[in-house]
Chains A and B, each alone.
Chain A
Amino acid sequence: MENFDLLMQIYVFVLAIFVGFELITKVPPTLHTPLMSGSNAISGITIVGALLSAGLEEFSVSTILGLIAIIFATINVIGGFLVTDRMLKMFKKK
């Protein structure tokens, strides 16, 4: 039932889009930059796929692609979360 799995994934995708819309329409303009950099870090979740490729037992093209993918995704994740935190630390109300 491989097609059924795909169907379920499409369900999850569509529902998650709606959750995203609901959450983000409520974010005030003041926070749009941190929202962007923070959500950007979340998109680095591709790191999961990169780890699975780089961790293969035998060395292959996939391992190399996986390694570069890990570097890319990690820059995205670490850079994104850290810079978001740096920005949010500055948002103060006197």
Chain B
Amino acid sequence: MEIISYLIYLVSSVLFIFGIKKLGSPKTARQGNMLASLGMFLAVVVTLLDHRVLTYEYIILGLIVGSAIGAVMAVKVQMTGMPQMVGLLNGFGGGASTLVALAEYYKELTHGLTFEMSTIITIILSILIGSITFTGSLIAFGKLQGIVTGKVVKYPGQNAINVILILAVIAAGIYIVMNPYNTELLLAVTAVSLVMGVLLVLPIGGADMPVAVSLLNSYSGIAASATGFVLSNNMLIIAGALVGASGIILTLIMCRGMNRSLMNVLLGGWDSAGSTAGAGAGTSPKGDVKSVDAEEAAMMFDSAQNVVIIPGYGMAVAQAQHAVRDLTNVLEKKGINVRFAIHPVAGRMPGHMNVLLAEAQVSYDKLFALEDINDDFNNVDIAFIVGANDVVNPAARHDQSSPIYGMPILNADYSKTVIINKRSMNAGYAGIDNELFFYPNALMYFGDAKDAITKLVNEIKQL
């Protein structure tokens, strides 16, 4: 029976791999997700039949409560709230890893078994990574939801405190490995790990959340792997490693999108962004800003042939994705070619803009990544920027004193006309003015994205 169980665990592992493989193309992605859930279902069923599982009351209770909460969350969440949702789910995964590791510890303790060194090491690692993932994700959730400040949080002695905590955990960990029966110390390590999760994410500013969420995603996978080591279960190790790798790759993509090194991110060097100090850095652009009203903008769109829409977090905040879709439709009806240019860090998580536009039923073949569209802006009549700012700031190309210098940007300024929809002239996340707004080919179209675009659509329809 045991051999059969392990063979079915192998089947689950293969289903996870195939599932992720199929998630790689929009055509097969849904099927991939189903395969992965089938793998999970098999794994749960086989475990329920395991000879070590003797009572079912708590299991049934837990499964019912968890399923109900999970299902309600999945159905209720708005597409604009997806980063929070994923952040929260990461946290639950991490929390589960910590709890399982603690449960294993108490199991061995009450049975009076002698701890193998490898077991206690993996238990400590599982607790550490799981706890950091848990509280880190809760803070990330709070920041994305607006419960915790989205600003960069700094306090004196920040780095020193972090270093001391890390050293303390290492020292305590080594001591526990030699004295595994020191329960209080293990609980203390758990508590410190929980605090470390808070301190890891608290300093991170709102617009750096794509990196934070990706990194926590990776941690949740590694935590699952660590649990696999505790239980000596290869399936958990494989599943966790796949997720860990996925999160790391997304993290690297996000870092590249902001021209930050992974080390800079891991060490909490998020200094440049979001701080008010950034406002003074760089040469503030001067000159006149030209603005247009809906009617003028409508006429410009009417005479264009090639339009590229650049969405940013502002589109999500204003829930303007449906209005943007209407604009796309009305322009296309006039025979105008409309495409979307998506910066890798637009929004609050990788692919955030794509999901919002998919929700608004914009065909995914109209969405282009930075490297696929950037050379084409010279042929674009209108680049229409909706709620994006730093990712189109040309200072990133030439102004070495700018905090965002070196960040890859969308070449919106190369198009014949740039129309920027913004609520006001406020600076973007990096706290710097955007010189693009002062360019001769740039026009501001002020207003809340949803209202302004709806007005624009009505004007175009009347032409």
Contact = CB atoms under 8 A, between A and B. Distances in A.
Interface in B226-243: 227-243
Contacts of A57: 54-55
Contacts of A41: 36-37, 40, 89
Contacts of B34: 85
B376 interface: no
Contacts of A81: 33, 36-37, 40
A80 B96 CA distance: 14
Contact of B234 (A12, A19, A46): A12
B402 interface: no
Interface residues of B, number: 112
Interface stretch (B64-72, B166-174, B269-277, B303-311): B64-72
A94 B363 contact: yes
A43 B224 CA distance: 6
Contact of B67 (A28, A42, A74): A74
Interface residues of A, number: 83
Contacts of B66: 70-75, 77-78
B19 A9 contact: no
Interface in A10-54: 12-14, 16-21, 23-54
A25 B96 CA distance: 28
B291 interface: no
A8 to B, nearest CB: 8
Interface string A64-94: 0111111111111111111111111111111
B419 interface: no
A23 B24 contact: yes
Contacts of A86: 74-75
B351 A31 contact: yes
A93 B74 contact: no
Given A27-B23, A79-B73, A83-B74, A54 B93 contact: no
Given A29-B351, A55-B59, A66 B70 contact: no
B109 to A, nearest CB: 9
Contacts of A87: 79, 82, 355, 358
Interface stretch (B41-49, B151-159, B381-389): B41-49
Q: Is the interface of B mostly helix, strand, loop or mixed?
A: helix
B86 A51 contact: no
Contacts of A76: 70, 89, 92-93, 96
User: Which among A19, A26, A52 has the greatest number of chain B C-beta atoms within 10 A?
Assistant: A52
Q: Is the interface of A mostly helix, strand, loop or mixed?
A: helix
Given A70-B66, A82-B75, A45 B116 contact: no
Given A43-B240, A78-B70, A30 B220 contact: no
Interface in B114-161: 116, 118
B58 A54 contact: yes
B228 A9 contact: yes
B312 interface: no
Nearest to B233: A48
B250 A43 contact: no
Given A55-B53, A80-B89, A46 B250 contact: no
B323 interface: no
A72 B96 contact: yes
B93 A43 contact: yes
B351 A36 contact: yes
Contact of B100 (A23, A53, A61): A53
B21 interface: yes
B197 interface: no
Nearest to B105: A62
A54 B234 CA distance: 21
B29 interface: yes
Contact of B40 (A17, A29, A35, A44): A44
B114 to A, nearest CB: 12
B96 A48 contact: no
B204 interface: no
Given A13-B241, A83-B77, A87-B358, A46 B26 contact: no
Contacts of B106: 60-62, 65
A69 B56 CA distance: 15
Contacts of B96: 44, 46-47, 49-50, 69-70, 72-73, 76
B32 to A, nearest CB: 7
Given A13-B225, A62-B110, A39 B89 contact: no
B69 A79 contact: yes
Q: Which 3 A-B pairs have the closest CB atoms?
A: A74-B66, A20-B245, A70-B62
23 contacts: A9-B237, A17-B244, A20-B242, A30-B351, A30-B367, A36-B213, A36-B250, A40-B220, A40-B243, A43-B221, A43-B243, A45-B239, A46-B97, A47-B40, A49-B236, A53-B104, A56-B52, A69-B95, A71-B65, A78-B66, A82-B70, A83-B82, A86-B74
Given A40-B217, A55-B58, 15 more contacts: A20-B243, A33-B352, A36-B247, A37-B85, A37-B89, A45-B235, A46-B227, A47-B47, A52-B47, A55-B48, A57-B55, A61-B106, A79-B69, A83-B73, A85-B30
